[in-house]
Chains A and B, each alone.
Chain A
Amino acid sequence: MKRFLINILILAIPLIVYLMIIVVVDPFNYLNVSKLVDDSVKFEISQEVSPHMYKLLDFENNPRGKIVLGDSRSNGLYHCMDSTQWANLAYGGGSLKEMVQSFWWAAEIQKLDTVLIGMDLNLYNKYNKRFYVEETIEAQNNFFSYAFNKNIFRSTYMILKSLVSKQKISINETSMTKEEFWQFQLNETPEKFYKKITYPDNYYSNLLDISEYCSENNVTLIFWIPPTHIDFQNSLEKYNIAKPKQKFLEDLMSLSELYDYNYPNEITMDDECFRDPLHFSHDVAIRIREELIEGKPFVAIHSVSAIIP
């Protein structure tokens, strides 16, 4: 028996040491106790490794009444917003499923005031159903499932590496030039996200639930459709998306006010307004923010006139 217990203990030592490191480093501020690692380091590294884990836990530690939901375009918009009032629950490549789950996660923690949902037709698709939010919520259920998670392991390793080497760690950086990436996006994205657009009955009912909740709880709900470059809009013509797009717009307009930036206009026709065919520039983000939040007219086709208090 003694030998068995000693062997179990020895076997467990690396696991115990690992847990202690996690307690000290706490890459996603799950325990939010240790301040040995600066939050700016965690922001740079952990948010890149697992934006879902980072943002959900950040909201739990610092809940705010105004939230941004969506994909990388909403994420881009958030960078020019007041982070003391607004929380960022937008994830690069995010799915509508993740947005819905994030909404309810936030609503359970904090009384919401305003919800900005940025989405395009590619998200309003039955087959777009990434589930990282669900995985993340499950992973942060208790300390052990948090600690023994691949993203926590990876973040911790990179944080320690950056502290030891005193060098910035680059994650998810591309070696392509702007032109190369521009063409890459035009070649890859339409095929991946628009080839099999199928009406998502379940998503409509999810959004309806959100709309009804917001209506009952005096939460301002705004949908906005991010602008894409005209090159990208033209590349979608071969997928016959006119009808699904029309239905998509009708559905959103039936749920709440809508700002549609995604049509041929002075912005979408200007290369300088975009980093790549899908992602608008910071200057455009500022103008979009001003229109959505402050009511300063920009280029959106606005279905219901309203100004966010």
Chain B
Amino acid sequence: MLFNSIDFAIFLPTVFILYWFVVNRNLKLQNILLIIASYVFYGWWDWRFLSLIMFSSAVDYFVGRGLERTEDPKKRTALLIVSILVNIGFLGFFKYFNFFAQSFADAFTFFGAHINASRLNILLPVGISFYTFQTLSYSIDVYRRKLAPTHDIVSFFAFVSFFPQLVAGPIERASNLLPQFYRKRIFDYRKAVDGMRQILWGLFKKIVIADNAAVYVNDIFGNYGDYSGSTLLIGGILFTLQVYGDFSGYSDIAIGTSRLFGFNLMQNFNFPFFSRDIAELWRKWHISLNTWFRDYIYIPLGGSRVGAWKKIRNIFIIFVVSGLWHGADWTYVIWGFLSAVYFLPIMLLKKHRQNTDVVAEGRLIPSFRELVQIITTFMLFSVSLIIFRSDSIQDAIHYFSKVFSSSLFDSPIKDFWTMNSGNHIIHFTISIFLLFIIEWLQRTRQHGLDIDEKNVPRILRWSIYYLVMVACFMMNGIQQEFIYFQF
């Protein structure tokens, strides 16, 4: 079920009431309730997917127990390999089988031979890229002895399936989330209220920004041959906003929902559009995934503590694998490659940690230099996302050839006029400005509606809540699925 659906609006209060009023006295029962609720939530898409997550959970639980029982390095390695094979195996089969089969066949065709790629009618289980990484991090941390294996199978199953973050993250580390299932949760008023605010802000980003951007993005990318270069560039920017609104919106709803149940999830987006360089952007965008790749691939490869060539190799591996994680298509691979190209100079010049403070801290307006840096970083990112969004490499090439043509200087107004959007484009533009203003003002806080109750009177706070709700109602158009569900 989608977060912005009636089903979820009924599901959440029901689970909330059962959690805090019916089973609250018994920790184990609370965790069992969370497992049941999570399986209902997940099974709402397709009940057949449940067997996968149950199997993955069981394998990693027993791998953890096995790692505890043996000190033999070979046996420990074998157990870890079992966990990797199962999780990556699931991912590889459901997500990448057709991609690799077709690519293999295409490669043979290139050399003159012909192979019929055997394509399977495989349904991609929702969230598989997320929960497999989550359980894998548990196995790896136990193997590395960074985490004690759990004996509590109920807590472990609840950790893997925890519904707020199950289908689109944040990808939680066992060291952060699992211990929260061992401890009794006490209802915290401030935490719950802030959770509700974060949910509201997430809904705003999803409904007002992402879903409305999608209307134009789908039109522009579907008919890019008919529009001017300036319109196509705007299309790339709108897609950047769409994916941010969609994904960070979902993360906010997930984190906010978790807080209603007394859990703390990690921040997944830290106002990335105010980044002054690409390195800073990647520290602030999809934090849970990027830190996962850093800790479990980049650092084991040697990270940046190796020679220049290996450093370059590691950067490319990380970004290309990250691209591939997003989808089984060459566009994602090329996007990852381009992201590495962006990152490499700043890394080799050792300037990737020069912007670690809050931009324009203590000031309302950024300096001219900061503004140029922010806009440049944003535009570079948007341009790379054009590849990400394109249906094929060929489409991406054609798209770019139009962007970087003389029609880049044509006015986009007549193109948007033909989209018959009426006043919608004006309302949407205002919404985008509001998003940027609010997030800029809140850039030192956890989310856009992270309000200090001591400094903001109740009447003003409640007025803000109602305004955001009204904005969601007024801009509520054609519901789009969360983009990251396809990953």
Contacts and interface: CB of A to CB of B under 8 A. Distances in A.
Contacts of B189: 1, 3-4
B151 to A, nearest CB: 31
Interface in A194-210: 195-196, 198
Interface string B11-24: 00000000010000
Contacts of A11: 462, 465
B391 interface: no
Contacts of A145: 6, 476
A130 B187 contact: no
A1 B187 contact: yes
Interface string B184-201: 000101001100100000
A247 interface: no
27 contacts: A1-B189, A3-B189, A4-B187, A4-B193, A8-B196, A11-B462, A14-B466, A126-B223, A127-B226, A127-B418, A128-B418, A129-B219, A130-B420, A131-B215, A131-B478, A138-B479, A139-B476, A142-B6, A144-B6, A144-B9, A145-B6, A148-B473, A149-B476, A150-B473, A153-B473, A195-B414, A196-B414
A192 B193 CA distance: 49
Contacts of A149: 473, 476
Nearest to A193: B418
A95 B226 contact: no
A283 interface: no
A128 B420 CA distance: 7
Given A126-B226, A144-B6, A150 B193 contact: no
A129 B478 contact: no
B474 interface: yes
Interface in A222-239: none
Chain B contact residues, majority secondary structure? helix
Contacts of A144: 6, 9
Interface of A: 1, 3-4, 7-8, 11, 14-15, 95, 126-131, 134-135, 138-139, 142, 144-145, 148-150, 153, 192, 195-196, 198
Contacts of B187: 1, 4
Contacts of B9: 144
B417 interface: yes
Contacts of B476: 139, 145, 148-150
B419 interface: yes
A142 B219 CA distance: 27
A7 B474 CA distance: 24
Number of contact residues on B: which range applies?
20 to 34
A36 B474 CA distance: 26
B473 A129 contact: no
B89 interface: no
B472 to A, nearest CB: 8
B345 interface: no
B477 interface: yes
Nearest to A195: B414
A142 B223 CA distance: 32
A14 to B, nearest CB: 7
B315 to A, nearest CB: 43
A153 B476 CA distance: 13
Nearest to A142: B6
A56 to B, nearest CB: 15
Contacts of A128: 418, 420
Contact of B192 (A4, A95, A148): A4
A192 B415 CA distance: 11
Given A144-B9, A145-B6, A192-B417, A134 B465 contact: no
Contacts of B474: 150, 153
A38 B198 CA distance: 42
A124 B256 CA distance: 47
Interface in B460-487: 462, 465-466, 469, 472-474, 476-479
Nearest to B7: A142
A205 to B, nearest CB: 15
Contacts of B477: 135, 138
Nearest to B227: A127
Given A127-B226, A192-B417, 12 more contacts: A4-B187, A4-B189, A4-B192, A14-B466, A129-B219, A129-B420, A135-B478, A138-B479, A139-B476, A149-B476, A150-B473, A196-B414
Given A129-B219, A131-B478, A148-B473, A7 B193 contact: yes
A127 B476 CA distance: 23
Contacts of A14: 466
Contacts of A150: 473-474, 476
A15 B417 CA distance: 35
B125 to A, nearest CB: 26
